Amino acid sequence: MSSAEMYNGLKVLSSYHRKGGVGKTFLASTIAYLLATGGPDGTGKKRRVLVLDYDSQQDSSKAFLQMDAIPGDDEYAAPTHPDYKEINDPDWPGRNTSTDILFDSPVYEYPTAFEGIKVLPSEGNVDRVLALTPQSERLVSTITSHMKDWFSIPDLAEDYDIIIVDNPPSKSPVSAGLLGAATHVIIPTEPEYDSIDGVPMLLNRIDRINEDRTDNPLEVLGVIPNKVQSKSKLTQKDRIALSKLYDKNGPTAAYMSQFWLTQRNCYRVMERPSVDESHFNYVHNHYAIDEMTKLYQLVENKIWGGK
């Protein structure tokens, strides 16, 4: 099977890093918007996107859906599906999360304010996955095989061009399991020690996944330095961190993107969540548009090769 045939041509992109706060959610939701709208200038192919949120903080769910606050809880519940009344499914309670996929429960993706983007929100606490198997060492492979089965459903490739997965931080079996089922991965990293130190380990994990996937290897779109200070504010420490990543003799250079994402106020959208078009205004921001265009082109070209 070639990678083009895996999941009937449907692509699965994972935004991945073990460290928290590096920009996994920012990249996942930005890429979803860029692909669905044909890039910052809107002239590219408009892709049909499904966002799967597995992050317990539910940030990308909140970027796309009006989640239901649970009184007395700091988590949100998935809202009632707008088509609940029309979809006549006795096994479906009218709301669902990305974790329901793993339990073979019925899942109906939620529409968003954007025509080309649907979402399955995160259920917050993801501990329910521990019930999947009593053997904890098998949890990762159990999740991988569940997700591979789901991504292989032919209807899914008819409805979507790409599924974008937002991962929880840490060594969660959920993110490891999902990575094993992805076709592509993108790795945001901050230019500071903890974050860059994890990158070679991630690349190692990907090599190990690919030992079993010789016909359809998991492809790294790139490692993207994120939250990089503008040139005038770049500290000596940042410079050293970045030069380590781009060191030609090091393990990461071959995967590094040719551009950075700068630390910008307009990108701090999670601090002001909204579920309409204005959430993504930053993509068209005069100062940001150059790096947004490069991000869009990287993803489009590496996944579809300009087709």
Ligand X SMILES: Nc1ncnc2c1ncn2[C@@H]1O[C@H](COP(=O)(O)OP(=O)(O)OP(=O)(O)O)[C@@H](O)[C@H]1O
CA angle (209, 215, 151) in 5-degree steps? 70
- Other Cβ atoms less than 10 A from the Cβ of 14: the count is 26
| Residues 6 or more apart in contact with residue 229 via CB below 8 angstroms | 235, 238, 262, 263
Q: Choose the stretch contacting ligand X; rule: CB under 6 A; options: 79-87, 111-119, 266-274, 278-286.
A: 266-274
The reply on whether position 123 binds ligand X by CB under 6 A is no
The reply on whether position 124 binds ligand X by CB under 6 A is no
Q: How far is the CB of 259 from Mg ion (least distance, A)?
A: 22
The reply on whether position 269 binds ligand X by CB under 6 A is yes
- Other Cβ atoms less than 10 A from the Cβ of 192: the count is 15
Within 27-56, the residues that bind Mg ion by CB under 5 A are 55
Number of residues that bind Mg ion (CB under 5 A): 4
Write the CA distances from 160 to 12, 153, 284, integer angstroms: 10, 11, 25
Closer by beta carbon to ligand X, 96 or else 172: 172
The reply on whether position 23 binds ligand X by CB under 6 A is yes
The reply on whether position 20 binds ligand X by CB under 6 A is yes
Q: Where are the alpha helices (DSSP H) in the chain?
A: 24-37, 59-64, 139-151, 154-159, 173-181, 193-197, 199-211, 236-245, 289-304
The reply on whether position 26 binds ligand X by CB under 6 A is yes
The reply on whether position 300 binds Mg ion by CB under 5 A is no
Q: Are 186 and 34 in contact (CB under 8 A)?
A: no
Q: Choose the stretch contacting ligand X; rule: CB under 6 A; options: 21-29, 140-148, 154-162, 203-211.
A: 21-29
Per-residue contact flags (x/-) with ligand X for residues 79 to 98, judged by CB under 6 A: --------------------
**Rounded CA gap, 33 and 10, in Å?**
18
**Rounded CA gap, 201 and 207, in Å?**
10
Number of residues that bind ligand X (CB under 6 A): 21
Q: How far is the CB of 119 from ligand X (least distance, A)?
A: 15
Binding positions for Mg ion, rule: CB under 5 A: 24-25, 55, 59
Binding positions for ligand X, rule: CB under 6 A: 20-26, 55, 57, 59, 169, 226-227, 261, 263-264, 267-271
